[in-house]
Amino acid sequence: MRFAKGHGTQNDFVILPDPDGRLDLAPGLVAALCDRHAGIGADGVLRVVRTKALGGALPDGAEEAEWFMDYRNADGSVAEMCGNGVRVFARYLAQAGLVAAPVFPVATRAGVRTVEMGADGAITVDMGAARVLGEGTAEIAGRPYRGLRVSVGNPHLACEVDGPIEALDLGRAPAVDPAVFPDGVNVELYRRDGADRLRMRVHERGSGETRSCGTGIVAVARAAAHASGREDGTWQVTVPGGELTVRLDGGRALLTGPAVVVAHGELDTAALG
Ligand SMILES: N[C@@H](CCC[C@H](N)C(=O)O)C(=O)O
């Protein structure tokens, strides 16, 4: 099986080219690929498949995009959207010569996202609306955190904290009320770091703590704007893996940051656990 490996601010992915939709991406295979000791190691998998090769019901408007990003978390679960993944996906498509224009649509389970390849190496994705759904809580290492529930196509709880976030223990999944989060949730802890600058850590549903999360970064920018009574603005968000920019503009969120493909190879699936 051919694969590539890439990352966006150190949120890393195994990329599986599958233009004709022949791969059976069972959860066990995804988990084995993402295993950092016995597999390639990654926070998730990006299957690169032609939209028209997908069976079953397509997300709204998906036909307008030639390529569909089939995203899976490291535990094999399916997620609606991945903000770092879609930039890595775009970088892969461009480098493989599978798209020609610098601006193109990518279909995802959360809908079609427009990607713009910058001349400076950064990639901007129109992430659509980041919707504030109300308040929520999570318990982390025995302490309760209040936050804002935000949908970026996938579910987030963005919790502002006062002190430093570096020492917080995100080694275990935050405890949340399943009645409030029936599909699970990605939990972000963020603090303000100057005017329009935020610092964030995240525990991702299905992947554990990661060094960056694009949808989470959009969620904290939306939560910070909401707390300041603002709708629009630009936020620089620092995560353990780097820095990204979010522009909230007229109800949509534009996410800009780097994305690279670092390796190509051949995988021996029979040797995977
Ligand atoms: N790392 C991603 C988000 C991946 C999906 C998430 N774990 C979920 O289950 O919703 C990003 O960059 O947005």
Residue ranges, comma separated, of all CATH 3.10.310.10 domains in the chain are 2-119+258-271, 131-250
Which tokens sit at 72? 């899976």
In the predicted model, is pLDDT for residue 37 greater than 90? Answer: yes
Query: Do 245 and 236 touch, CB atoms closer than 8 A?
Result: yes
Pocket flag, ligand 1, residue 246 (CB < 6 Å): no
Superfamily of domain 131-250: Diaminopimelate Epimerase; Chain A, domain 1 (3.10.310.10)
Question: Is 9 near ligand 1, meaning CB less than 6 Å away?
Answer: no
The predicted pLDDT at position 59 comes to 84
Q: What is the pLDDT of residue 173?
A: 96
Is the CB of 108 within 6 Å of ligand 1? no
- What does the pLDDT look like over 208-253, one tens digit per residue? 999 999 999 999 999 999 999 999 999 999 999 999 999 999 999 9
**For the residues of 228-253, what is the DSSP string, one character each?**
TT-S-EEEEEEETTEEEEEEEETTEE
Which residues belong to the annotated binding site? 11, 73, 83-84, 154, 186, 204-205, 214-215
How large a percentage of the chain has pLDDT more than 90? 96
Determine the residue of 78, 156, 207, 255 to mutate for testing ligand 1's pocket, defined as the one with the most ligand atoms within 8 A of the Cβ atom. Answer: 207
How much distance in Å is there from the Cα of 63 to the middle of ligand 1? Answer: 23
**pLDDT attached to residue 252:** 97
Closest Cα to residue 218, out of 195, 194, 239, 240? 239
CB 76 within 8 A of CB 28: yes
- Using only C-alpha atoms, the chain has a radius of gyration, in whole angstroms, of 18
ipTM of the complex: 0.99
CATH superfamily of 2-119+258-271: Diaminopimelate Epimerase; Chain A, domain 1 (3.10.310.10)
